[in-house]
Structure 1
Amino acid sequence: MSDSGDLQWGQAEQRAVQGDASYVRELGEQLVDRHVVAVRQVREYERQLANVVRVLAFTPGRDSLVNLLRFLDEKRPSTGSPRPLLPFVASVLAERHHVADLAAVVFEPRGREYLNELRACLLHELVLRGVRTDTYPALRSAAHVLPPWHPLSWLPTHRIDVESGADFPTRSLNGSSYGVPSQLPAEGRVDLPTPRTSERSALRDTATTDVRESIVAAPQAGEWADFGAWVFPLDEAVPPERVPALLPTLPMGCLDGLGPTDRFEIAVRPLDEIWRLLFATASMGGMYDSGVHGAYGRLWAWRSIAGLSGAPAGASAEEVEHRARQTNWFHFETDTDWFHGDIDSDYGIVALSPDHRRIAVLAATDTD
């Protein structure tokens, strides 16, 4: 078999029965070679397709928008990314285009059904950037037609004041840069004197699977390296000022090995800073991931807030916000084997429920 064109793909079994195993081996070898070439070609096509989408999305103007939408709808390109394409496109459009152009072109009434996901994501990207949906009839209409089964329908179509500090990546045609604001601030510090007590608390983690999944929603969406959640019912109401001393004694894997003099730093944080941290975690992702972008980042940040604050299952966005405002929030960092201490790669969040009888903890690290 000197030429791959001579290969008879349907004869492998017959030739093997005839004792011509070398034919079957050569067939396999040439198939492997062809597959390598084909995969290389596919990856190059995907790279070029991704660039085409980026050029159209990053170029302002209605002509670019019209051609981008037509291309996405008619060809539905695969760019090789493990993340869905439309949330990324929506994020870039919100960043680079005039709202009037987006309202006129993307949200026009006769829009293609395939692009409904783009419109849903774009709506919330714009909301996060402070655009009032009632200012543009097309946006006002889109805000009311999102089907109730769509995950983003849970979100309000106005920006909540705690969301006004949302961080977005700095992007260009050639790439992007971003950082998750996870460093402990100097203000609000309530660090404990050392040595701390070495006694361990008798409290036990009671987080159910559903509650745990809710708490870790943001780092899970952002595909951070590791994360954990714990919930501790308290025997009596505990005032906020006692939380810093209680926290290092709790039986949590992220604190295993913490000694009485090891670094343990903690600060009281306002709700808007906690939300900002969770939003960046989900929307911009970890070191080797681009995140879920603004719309879904907004959703998963609030999902983590709901779990941490103890909001009941099925609570509305307004109910979660109300409970979160009544919750006491803390941010901590520590030196244990579970954490790694890298900048913008580790953090812990603590929530003391409004009745002061429940402590919930989220720990996340983005270092392998």
Structure 2
Amino acid sequence: MNDEANDRANDETINCEPEHLARDKALQHAMAGDIAHLRGVGSQLTTRYAAAARAARIHGSDLSYLRRLLATTPGRDSVELLLQLLGEQGAAAGEAGLELPLMATVLAQHQPAAVLAQAVFADVPEGDRLGELRTCLFHELLLRGVDPDEFPALRPGSRMHPLSWLPDRRRALETAPDFTRHSANGSAGSVKTGLPETDGRLDPPTPRPTEASPLRNSVTVDEHDLILTAVEGNWGYAEAWVFRPEQPIAPDRVPALLPTLPMDCVAGLGPTGRYEIAARPVGDIWSLLFATSAVGGCYGTGRYGAWGRLRAWRSLAGLCGAPFSASAGEVELRAEQCTWFHFETDAEFFHNEIGNDYGIAALSPDGRRLAVLAATDTD
């Protein structure tokens, strides 16, 4: 019998209504100095607690598999049963373990939009606990090309949710979103961080000048945190810098300028170390930020499509210099006016061990602000 079977057999002895500690009696034994009795009680409680924890892990794993199985089985019946189970589980144990953003991305991958509009968004019951699922699902479907005008019921009702900041239609800069692939047994995905082989390449000739730039990093705490939003929590390490020159920087100067700036991501590179850079359209930058957040890396499972979308937009806002209070439309306008660069180096900052390493630079249209994000999936 394997370990899981043993655990299941042991679980059968657990009473659904656990026996509580008789605290008054325990206090009497303590006051009488009968520590041996308390030792026995403590051992018994520890054994019960360990058995209950094993049972909770097993049941949680089984419920997670069943939710995935239903979400990946096409058809309205499986979706409606999934919603029923999610509601029951939420009522029994709270929403924390329901994986609602994950359920939204799995449903969007495996179920037709028409089925979801009928089964998930129509006839929402009073006291419904699945608002997070519906809000996430709306954005998941948008990113997959679903036109909300064809399915008016898909629109989430709450305007107080953080995701309501996002555009209610897929924008032109949201090109080629890269999603994690899901099945009943798990998920898989990777972030494509490589530069194009030829398009937009601006690699400066070597040996490069090594004279340090007089520019100094002036990033604020708010700018730093906003720029790193897409990377936070699921990649190894990232840093952000902002430079504000007195004289405008021309876009064609940026490739040669970056290796001379006081940044960890180019420190120790030298005149001949590998340094590759390309000009990229803003859509390519958004796609890279989206994949970073939605798919994640070795240090996390990612935020999935809806929250990955929000985090990509927030990082884009930080890079293009939009204030935190800016609307999505204002961020989009600023981002489209910036000049964008994507670079890689062999500096020590980038471990270059598993392929997930990149740098992004954004130059404002007036040339007076240069923001840089560097990320590695190895800490």
TM-score normalised to structure 1 length: 0.90
Unaligned runs of 5+ in 1: none
- 1:367 paired to 2:340: no
Give distance in 2, aligned partners of 1:301 and 1:333.
20
Cα–Cα, structure 1 residues 137 and 80, in superposed 2: closer, same or farther, change >3 Å?
closer
Residue number among 71, 76, 85 corresponding to 1:57 in the alignment: 71
In 1, Cα distance between the equivalents of 2:78 and 2:106?
A: 13
Indicate the residue corresponding to 2:151 in structure 1.
136
| 2:217 alignment partner in structure 1 | 205
Which amino acid letter does the alignment assign opposite residue 207 of structure 1?
A: V
1:200–1:249 CA contact under 8 A, matched in 2: yes
Query: Which amino acid in 1 is paired with 2:78?
Result: S
**d(CA) in 2 for partners of 1:14 and 1:195?**
82
Tell me how far apart the structure 1 counterparts of residues 161 and 95 of structure 2 sit (CA, whole Å). Answer: 23
- Aligned match for 2:236, one of 210, 220, 225: 225
TM-score of the superposed pair, with normalisation by structure 2: 0.88
Equivalent-residue separation in structure 1 for 2:269 and 2:345 (angstroms): 8
RMSD of aligned residue pairs (Cα, Å):
2.4
- Going from structure 1 to structure 2, the CA distance change for 1:210 and 1:192 (only over 3 Å counts) comes to same
For 1:194 and 1:84, the matched residues in 2 are separated by 54
SS at match of 1:311: coil
Is the alpha carbon distance of 1:336 and 1:83 closer, same or farther for their aligned partners in structure 2, counting shifts above 3 Å? farther
- 1:316: which partner in 2? 327
Unpaired runs of at least 5, structure 2: 1-18
Which residue identity is paired with 1:87?
P
Q: Say which of 120, 134, 156 aligns to 1:119.
A: 134
Which deviations, in whole Å up to 9, do the C-alpha atoms of 1:301-358 show, x marking residues without a partner?
Answer: 0110111011233221111111111111111111222211034321111111111111
Q: 1:364 to 1:54 in 2, by over 3 A?
A: same
Identity fraction in percent: 52
Matched, 1:38 2:52: yes
Give the secondary structure class of the aligned counterpart of 2:243: strand
Residue range with higher mean Cα deviation, 22-31 or 208-217 = 22-31
The one-letter amino acid of 1:174's match is: N
SS at match of 1:162: coil
**CA deviation after TM superposition for structure 1 residue 19, in Å:** 3.9
Following TM superposition, by how much is the alpha carbon of 1:44 offset from its aligned partner in structure 2, in angstroms? Answer: 0.6
What does residue range 50-199 of structure 1 map to in structure 2 within 5 Å? 50-76=64-90, 85-112=99-126, 113-139=128-154, 142=155, 145-147=157-159, 149-187=160-198, 188-199=200-211
Deviation of residue 229 (structure 1)? Answer: 0.9
My pick for the range that moved more, 238-247 or 11-20, is 11-20
Instruction: Report SS of the residue matched to 1:362.
Output: strand
Which stretch of structure 1 is more off in the superposition, 242-251 or 308-317? Answer: 308-317
Q: 1:345 aligns with which of 345, 348, 356?
A: 356
> Shift of residue 110 of structure 1?
3.1
Once residues 347 and 98 of structure 2 are traced to their aligned partners in structure 1, the CA distance between those partners, rounded to angstroms, is 35
Letter paired with 1:130: G
Give the whole-Å Cα distance in 1 for the aligned partners of 2:33 and 2:162.
59
3-state DSSP of counterpart to 1:244: helix
